[in-house]
Amino acid sequence: MADKIRLGFIGTGGIARAHADALTKVTGAEIAAVTDAVPEAASAMADRTGATVYDSARSLAKDGGVDAIFIFLPPFAHGEAERAALEAKIPFFCEKPVGLDEGLLKEIAAEVESSGLLTSVGYMTRYRKSVQRVRDILADDPPIMAFGGWWGGSPGNHPWWTDKSKSGGQFHEQATHTVDLARYLFGEAVEVYAASANGFNKGIPGYTMDDAVTVAIRFANGGVANLMSSCSSNAGGSLFMDIHSLNHNFHFTEWNHSVVIKTKDAETEQITGEEGIFTIEDQVFVDAVRSGDRSGIRSTYPDGVKSALISLASNRSLATGKPVSL
């Protein structure tokens, strides 16, 4: 593999622009091909990066001459891009959450596993020193309970995010990072039960989401978590997670997941979340494509599917009013 890694972008919206900025700091990365359902968006990204525009995911995968593909799509739009990468045997990075259709997600995950294709999912929090430190501690002192959430204000007019049939709702599309963090630290979930608050946000075009959601999760290790999301907190938002084990308390705060670690009969430890986390996870993926060494990748596509299935199960629980087994 050449030192220069040619990358293709499928989807060129806001998250693609964030990664494009991050990739300018990644050694050996070149954005060479782009495509988007909105031609003007693809052209804007091409102007920004010097990439060539293709008219579809399949044409990019077939003719773009890329070494790896980044998939930046809304939850409802997944499927064709991943299959195009699989058919062309091109490693791919998929931003979270990886989709909405449980059956499709499981099919693609099985194809990735059977093919052995190199993949990564954009759960960037896993790459933080704070998270790795806490995970190391919990390996010997297992987590018992977590309480956390993702609060934000009422959304404006958005082409797909406020339509739950397209985004999956805030808990699935945005709070997925909090869900994944809990799963990364506790292990696999076995049951979820969800309740929602509705009718508080008013006058938002195309709004079908829940105003707030609370989800109880039971894990295979015996631990439990209560995770929440809200898009109705106009006085200010927040992102946090508190975890306790027998001998430790952990308090994660804000988007960068700084952590305060309290240990029984020991001094308190603090780790500040690092900047440039997109660059860190993108560098790991590019390096893996170049070398074939996957050991640095924290979340593969099949692993990312497992996190998506938790929040999709919470939507089923909301619809039925009953617990859902995983």
Reduced to 3 states (helix: H, G, I; strand: E, B; else coil), residue 250 is strand
Question: pLDDT per residue over 19-62, tens digit each?
Answer: 999 999 999 999 999 999 999 999 999 999 999 999 999 999 99
> Using CA atoms, how far apart are residues 173 and 221, in angstroms rounded to an integer?
26
What is the β-pairing status of strands 5-10 and 29-35?
parallel
Chain position carrying tokens 């938790």: 310
- List the Cα angle 270/271/277 in 5-degree steps: 160
Tokens representing 206?
């195309």
Question: pLDDT per residue over 213-257, tens digit each?
Answer: 999 999 999 999 999 999 999 999 999 999 999 999 999 999 999
Q: What is the pLDDT of residue 152?
A: 96
Question: pLDDT per residue over 94-152, tens digit each?
Answer: 999 999 999 999 999 999 999 999 999 999 999 999 999 999 999 999 999 999 999 99
Tokens representing 98?
């990886």
pLDDT at 172 over 80: yes
Q: What is the pLDDT of residue 2?
A: 59
Quick check: pTM over 0.95?
yes
Q: What is the pLDDT of residue 1?
A: 47
Tokens representing 113?
């596993």
Q: Which of 73, 65, 76 is nearest to 41 (CA)?
A: 73
> Using CA atoms, how far apart are residues 316 and 227, in angstroms rounded to an integer?
16
Tokens representing 300?
């593969």
Supply the DSSP symbol for 96: S
Question: pLDDT per residue over 66-89, tens digit each?
Answer: 999 999 999 999 999 999 999 999
CB of 219 within 8 A of CB of 189? yes
Q: Which of 90, 93, 100, 138 is nearest to 247 (CA)?
A: 138
CB of 187 within 8 A of CB of 318? no
How many Cα atoms sit within 13 Å of 261 on the Cβ side?
23
Reduced to 3 states (helix: H, G, I; strand: E, B; else coil), residue 293 is coil
Helices 102-115 and 80-88: crossing angle in degrees, nearest 10, is 10
Q: What is the pLDDT of residue 148?
A: 97
Q: What is the pLDDT of residue 3?
A: 82
For residue 253, CA distances in Å to 10, 273, 279 come to 32, 9, 21
